[in-house]
Amino acid sequence: MSPKLLTQDAMLLKVRSWQAEGNRVVFTNGCFDILHAGHVRYLSAARKLGDRLVIGLNTDASVRKLKGPKRPVAPEGDRAEVLSALASVDAVTLFDDDTPEQLIGMLLPDILVKGADWPVEKIAGAAAVLAHGGSVLTVPLLEGRSTSGIIDTIIHLYCPQTTVGTS
């Protein structure tokens, strides 16, 4: 298990420690199922907005609620390990809720980041971060890169008779 994978309580202590040292903590979240270049560029861009990048990672149960019974492809432990291996990522914690709103409200990062496909007013946790004096920002996504698109490509290449989508 990666030392970057923390319980929510340990993440809170780490975030507060970094903030006490004057570090600006950036938070983002997602499923990060089948990590691809779009994810890597997104996380790198998010990290550049502050001093530390922490990730709220959807548990397998949470991903199934959001994406359907066939997802995630990669289990949460594998997804957390791959994210933890990225130089741009300082810490990862799992959350089981439909949204990371409660986790964000607990951590109160300095900067909350999502992809540019999210309107700021619909970003979970934005109100708590803004009320605490933080910022909510979006970063551009890499065009044409998505986990669902990768899964669809694999299905069409290796199971062309399959007509059922991934989402």
pLDDT tens-digit readout, 35-77: 888 889 999 999 999 999 999 999 999 999 998 898 898 999 9
- Structure confidence at residue 117 (pLDDT): 83
- Structure confidence at residue 103 (pLDDT): 98
**Pick from 70, 69, 39, 71: nearest CA to 55:** 39
Task: Give the single-character DSSP code of 54.
Answer: E
Q: How many CB atoms sit inside 10 A of residue 70's CB?
A: 12
Q: How many CB atoms sit inside 10 A of residue 165's CB?
A: 11
* % of residues, the chain, pLDDT over 90: 69
**Pick from 102, 77, 105: nearest CA to 92:** 77
Quote the pTM value. Answer: 0.87
Round to whole Å and give the CA distance between 79 and 60. Answer: 10
Report all structural domains of the chain as residue ranges with CATH numbers, in order of start.
8-142 (3.40.50.620)
User: In this predicted model, which residue has the larger pLDDT, 167 or 46?
Assistant: 46
Q: Over the stretch 134-144, which tens digit does the pLDDT of each residue have? A: 999 999 875 65
Round to whole Å and give the CA distance between 150 and 80. Answer: 19
Q: Over the stretch 6-20, which tens digit does the pLDDT of each residue have? A: 999 999 999 999 999
SS3 content of the chain, % helix, strand, coil (to 5): 40, 15, 40
Please name the residue that has the structure tokens 């951590």: 107
Q: In 64-157, at which residue ranges do the beta strands (DSSP E only) sit?
A: 91-95, 111-115, 135-139
- Structure confidence at residue 144 (pLDDT): 59
Quote the mean pLDDT of the chain: 89
Round to whole Å and give the CA distance between 44 and 53. Answer: 9
- Structure confidence at residue 148 (pLDDT): 60
Six-digit token string for 8? 């929510």
- Structure confidence at residue 114 (pLDDT): 94
Do residues 139 and 162 lie in contact, with contact meaning Cβ atoms separated by under 8 Å?
A: no
Q: Over the stretch 117-139, which tens digit does the pLDDT of each residue have? A: 888 888 999 999 999 999 999 99
- Structure confidence at residue 165 (pLDDT): 52
The answer, yes or no, to whether residue 157 has pLDDT greater than 90, is no
Give the CA diameter of the chain: 57
